[in-house]
Amino acid sequence: MTREAGRHGGAGEQAVLLVAGAADLAVSTLGSAVGAVRGLLRRSDAAELAAQAEQDLSARGRLVLDRHAAVPPAHLEILARHVLARKSADDD
3-state secondary structure string, 53-74? HHHHHHHHHHHHHHHHHCCCCC
So what's the pLDDT on residue 8?
Answer: 58
So what's the pLDDT on residue 5?
Answer: 44
- Measured between its terminal Cα atoms, the distance across the chain in Å is 79
pLDDT in tens, the chain (92 residues): 454 444 556 888 888 889 899 998 898 898 888 888 888 777 778 788 888 989 999 899 888 888 777 777 788 989 999 999 999 988 87
CA distances from 53 to 11, 20, 39, 46, 58 (A): 43, 33, 15, 10, 9
**Contacts (Cβ under 8 Å, ≥6 apart) of 37:** none
So what's the pLDDT on residue 81?
Answer: 92
Dmax of the chain from CA atoms?
Answer: 80
So what's the pLDDT on residue 46?
Answer: 76
